[in-house]
Amino acid sequence: MKKVDLITGFLGSGKTTFLIKYARHLIKQGLRIGILEYDYGAVNVDMLLLNKLRGANCEIEMVAAACDEDCLRRRFTTKLIAMAMSGYDRVIVEPSGVFDMDMFYDTLRDEPLENMYEIGNVITVVNAKLIDKLSAEEDYILASQAACAGTIILSRTQLATDEEIANTKKHIREAAEKIKCRKLPENYLEKSWDELDESDYNALMSSGYHIGDYMKITAGRDLSFSSKCYLDLKDNLEELKTKINTLFSSKEYGNIIRIKGFVCDKGGGYQINASQYELLAEPTAIGQGVLIVIGTELNDAKIDGILYTNN
């Protein structure tokens, strides 16, 4: 049977960046891989980033998740069946950051997928500079994803202090206690991702997974997470930064958790990743203005009023 890996992590953790590194390692080993990507936005920003991996040994598929839970599960199942028959050595699933872990396990236990796949590894990515204050819903998602992982990978460790890393681990433990999680994985990978070597990837490839034992509640959009997509934005980088900072400055726009996308500036492109605590803009070859705002209780009209100004 084919192995399927799950790479998960809460909004803004950096799981797509890690997935690119992980996939490149598998391709270097001569494996032919398929990546299944889905999110709730009208445009899948992460899919645009992953396109650089396409080639003879890597193909990328997408599931549009703008539907109810039953519809999403049917789409997920159908796509996995098709990928099982496409000759991949391994399939990697990267879901939305507000993902219900049960859907992954339950879907793979059902026929015919239980006879096509075996679960390889569940890898959960957590920001090493995790903020102290998360909502109850955010803590649930963080803890449930961590509880199922074979390895928890910390992102941005090169930017974090020892105290911040310790606080992040403490936060995960406390979030797990809130949902009666009896045991968390003991494996943490804390190295800068630029320093990962063959032994690190080999350890990840054999890290496995856990069936999390915790008090379950319905995750995802039933917890009121939503997204708003903006296409063909004409702002340059500094103009867009100003608008993003405005959106995070007041709750009148809603509880905005993350803003991500791309902006064009002086003939070049920048990838945008923003939260209430940081705004990162990194050069990219993708040259189009698209932005996705993710959060709860979003005030669409007021967000429109900011992002559509001068566009």
Q: Which residues pair with 164 in a beta bridge?
A: none
In this prediction, residue 220 carries a pLDDT of: 43
pLDDT of residue 221: 40
In this structure, the answer to whether residues 167 and 259 fall within a common structural domain is: no
Per-residue pLDDT tens for 1-10? 899 999 999 8
pLDDT at residue 138, as a whole number: 86
Burial class (CB in 10 A: 0-12, 13-18, 19+), 55: exposed
Three-state secondary structure readout of 292-306:
EEEEECCCHHHHHHH
Together in a domain, 179 and 253: no
pLDDT tens figures, 41-64: 555 677 778 888 999 999 999 886
Contact 103, 65 (CB under 8 A): no
Q: Are 36 and 7 in contact (CB under 8 A)?
A: no
Please enumerate in sequence order all residues whose Cβ is within 8 A of that of 141, keeping only pairs 6 or more positions apart, or say none: 10, 97, 98, 99, 219, 223
Q: Which of 220, 238, 262 marks a domain boundary? A: 220
CATH of residue 273's domain is 3.30.1220.10
Share of the chain above pLDDT 70, in %: 94
pLDDT attached to residue 49: 80
Contact present, 235 and 243 (Cβ < 8 Å):
yes
The listed range with the strongest mean pLDDT (46-60, 147-161, 211-225, 270-284) is: 147-161
Q: Which is higher by pLDDT, 45 or 185? A: 185
Same-domain pairing of 16 and 115: yes
Same domain, 164 and 210: yes
Do residues 189 and 123 both lie within one domain?
yes
205 plus 252 within the same structural domain: no
> Which of 194, 220, 246 lies at the terminal end of a domain, its last residue?
220
Q: In what order do the strands lie in the sheet with 33-39?
A: 58-64, 33-39, 90-94, 2-9, 117-127, 151-155, 188-189
pLDDT of 222 over the 70 cut: no
Specify whether 255 is located in the same domain as 136: no
Q: Which residues contact 133 (CB under 8 A, 6 or more apart)?
A: none
- CATH number of the domain within which 146 lies: 3.40.50.300
Q: Identify the pLDDT of residue 167.
A: 95
Percent of the chain at pLDDT above 90?
Answer: 53
- Residue 133 scores a pLDDT above 90: no
Nearest to 125 by CA among 35, 41, 218, 12: 12
Mean pLDDT along residues 81-91: 94
Closest CA to 124 of 110, 107, 144: 144
* Same domain as 128, residue 13: yes
Task: Output the average pLDDT for the chain.
Answer: 88
What pLDDT is attached to residue 65? 62
pLDDT band at 195 (very low <50, low <70, confident <90, very high): very high
The predicted pLDDT at position 305 comes to: 95
* Domain edge (last residue) among 197, 220, 243: 220
Q: Do residue 234 and residue 206 come from a single domain?
A: no
> Looking at the structure, do residues 106 and 16 belong to the same domain, yes or no?
yes
Question: What span, in angstroms and rounded, lies between the C-alpha atoms of 221 and 227?
Answer: 10
Decide which of 267 and 208 is more confident. Answer: 208
Looking at the structure, tell me whether residues 296 and 208 fall in a common domain: no
**Number of domains, the chain:** 2
Which has the higher per-residue pLDDT, 70 or 108? Answer: 108
Q: Are residues 42 and 127 in the same domain?
A: yes
Is the pLDDT assigned to residue 121 strictly greater than 90?
Answer: yes
Q: What range does the domain containing 289 cover?
A: 226-307
Round to whole Å and give the CA distance between 205 and 305.
Answer: 47
Q: Which of 43-57, 147-161, 162-176 has the lowest mean pLDDT?
A: 43-57
